[in-house]
Amino acid sequence: MGTTVSFDVRVDTTRVSSARDAVAQAIEWLHQVDEIFSTYKPMSDISRLGRGEVGIDACHPEVRMVLALCSECQRETGGYFTARYAGHIDPTGLVKGWAIARAGQLLARQGIRHVLVNGGGDIWAQAGKAGDEPWQIGIVHPTEPGAYAAVLRLFSCAVATSGVSQRGAHIVDPFTGRPATTWASATIVGPDLVRADAYATAALAMGEAAPRWLATLGTYEALLIRPDGTGWWSDGFPSLCTTLNGPSAEVLRPAGTPARRVR
């Protein structure tokens, strides 16, 4: 999927071997997903489907499932998330989050309680690091290398970030075809990584319309950062943050107040 995936698994010493086996199964699953959905591999199912060489019935069953999820997210975002770009099928705005979530769920089914899977900034986490200690998740600042825009303290959660820091302005407004440049990054926190991933992509594509739409999502919180370092965040976002190497709730700008620099 063109990125690195890391696993943070906390078990007692009697379960180290079984935990390693579970992680190996999750890694195997991610490689399988890459073989099916990679747009960089000419013989992947999604590439062959896109070229019209095969129909969807000839693809792995997961292809139909993922494209159905893409259609749901397209409706939920008013068309700003789409699995088609320039006429080509490309579900990568959703499939990475979907795959990371499935990898985490595979570990959970093996009885591992404390687990965090991070795939290129898309994070699926269960429980906390240990006991009542939450996971600490840093949101990299998109325009200030080495800096955090925020550090989150969370238990079971999903976090997805889309932005320009790694791949430039690679997300386009599907209605205009122009690169989305209003926001340098969009971070979504919520219960479902599939939605968080798709919503982060959609928020970048929406431009100035994103805050009003994000404020309607209910169980999802959001942080948007402009190229000049100012930002917008949903009303509940500050409550998720800590002061560790990043802005505290006092630095964050509630929705509807004048812009302040995220630093």
* pLDDT score of 168: 59
Give the E-state strand segments of 195-240 in sequence order: 221-225, 231-233
Residue range 5-30: mean pLDDT, rounded? 95
105-163 residue pLDDT tens:
999 999 999 999 999 889 999 999 988 899 999 998 888 888 888 999 999 999 999 98
Q: Which residues contact 190 (CB under 8 A, 6 or more apart)?
A: 157, 158, 196, 199, 217, 219, 220, 221
Spatial distance between the Cα atoms of 172 and 80, rounded to a whole number of angstroms: 9
**249 vs 23, more confident:** 23
pLDDT-derived band at 259 (thresholds 50, 70, 90) equals very low
Of 193, 252, 185, give the one whose Cα is nearest residue 224. Answer: 185
Per CATH, the number for 5-242 is 3.10.520.10
| Most trustworthy range by pLDDT among 34-38, 91-95, 248-252 | 34-38
Determine how many CB atoms are found less than 10 A away from the CB of residue 259: 12
Look up the pTM and report it. 0.89
**Which residue ranges make up each domain of the chain?**
5-242
pLDDT-derived band at 192 (thresholds 50, 70, 90) equals very high
CA 29 to chain centre: 18
Q: How many helices (H) and strands (E) does the chain have?
A: 6, 12
DSSP 239: G
Spatial distance between the Cα atoms of 3 and 246, rounded to a whole number of angstroms: 25
Residue with tokens 């579900």: 91
Q: How far is CA 187 from CA 20, 56, 234, 260, in A?
A: 30, 32, 11, 17
Residue with tokens 């509630």: 254
